[in-house]
Amino acid sequence: MCRKNSKRTVVTASRWIAYQTLADWRAGRGFLEDLLADHWKTADLKREDLALSQTIVYGVFRNLRRLDFWIDRLARKGIGSLPDPVVDCLRMALFQTAHLDRVPDHAAVSETLRLCESVGLRGMKPVVNGMLRAFPGKRGELDKEIAASPDRLAVVTSHPDWLVEWAIGKWGNRKGEVWLTQNNVEPSICLRPNAARLLNPEEAERGGDRDRTAAALLVERSGMGELVGEGTAVRIPPSGDPTQLDALREGLANVQDLSAQQAVRLLDPKPGEKIFDLCAAPGGKAVQIADRTLDRAEVYAVDVNQARLARVEENLKRCGFVSVKTVRRDLSEPWEDPPALADAVLLDAPCSGLGTLRRRVDLRYRIRPADIQELAAKAGQLLENASRLARPGGRLVYSTCTLTREENSDVIEGFLNKNIEEWELSERCVYPGWLEEGPGDAPDPIPDCDGAFMALLLRRR
């Protein structure tokens, strides 16, 4: 499929979508993954074209600082002399030239020139053409300049300076550089099977074995993927839009990273219990709770945003679970009249998301150090309010998908200092374990999962 402007300039649809997504992000119209998904909805693309558009968009952001370094040196008057749309076109072209073996250099150049004309930059074509044709011969020299730069690590891994300093301060040079590098590795897709949909009632009652049985059956029925997470989940290669997978459309599985699954496992919800899933959208953990409790618990999925709650309801309906009720509630204020006190409460607190940079590739350029302090204060208030929803003898899991001390251990310590007579810490962990604070060696290979923090708190009777 191709895109044509009024002058009949032809641009392949995957590259046109990639360009429009970059332009929308630059204009502040939303988060990168949402913008890309919106463009996918309006385009009739084959799976391979969807995948190429995602590869280009995400590849540009995973290599943004290096690409901009190259552009700055290739441009006669530096990157600041070029219009923003031209910079986006060059970023796309240089990424394809440097990182996509399946795209010949001449194809990347010709497509970029067509793209320039299509977006009204015809007069810039000679400049763009000259820069792109000069790049292969100058790349070695440019990379030597990067290697000698005091900003080498920030440029090579394409992270803001403050985030590089934070990582090195948290883990030391060796492990910090591994983490920064791993943030640019394209992650696979992890599917968590819905055992209640895949197994017969007798098999579904088998506790821990049920997840392994369901995962094996999911691989058998879908004909794809490999077992991971002690055989309880299925990993498949990146494939464009995962919502088009038959297993997801039929409610047999959910896309859920291994790290995201650990919070519900720590909570250990059981049939017959009253359970609150707080800050529940988009509903992955609510579905997991319903599955683990065989759809026989009294579950409340709570979120402040009605549109996001609609996504929770869509996910529950797709998977066939009926035990979860959605509740719109601003949890920054105490909930004075909850439906009941709960046996188990899960608070998946809003956070800086630094454990998810592999997937949310634009987040590193959006988050600021001041945001971490603000989010930590908000998380502390949410935890205080969430604790009032658990019955005596009940349990509460606090979880985040970030790795900062301020949003994790400090929040838990601050809460316990104020509530030590009523609450105790049973367990805390960082997942995967190599991301625990402090210097050391990283495992080989690095686990293919995001980073997360969780703590299990028990209310005294």
Q: Which residues are catalytic?
A: 401
SS (H, E, C) the chain: CEEECCCCCEEEHHHHHHHHHHHHHHCCCCCHHHHHHHHHHCCCCCHHHHHHHHHHHHHHHHCHHHHHHHHHHHCCCCHHHCCHHHHHHHHHHHHHHHHCCCCCHHHHHHHHHHHHHHCCCHHHHHHHHHHHHHHHHHHHHHHHHHHCCCCHHHHHHCCCHHHHHHHHHHHHHHHHHHHHHHCCCCCCEEEEECHHHHCCHHHHCCCHHHHHHHHHHHHHHHCCCEEECCCCEEEECCCCCHHHCHHHHCCCEEECCHHHHHHHHHHCCCCCCEEEEECCCCCHHHHHHHHHCCCCCEEEEEECCHHHHHHHHHHHHHHCCCCEEEEECCCCCCCCCCCCCEEEEEEECCCCCHHHCCCCCCHHHHCCHHHHHHHHHHHHHHHHHHHCCEEEEEEEEEEECCCCCCCCHHHHHHHHHHHCCCEEEEEEEEECHHHCCCCCCCCCCCCCCCCEEEEEEEECC
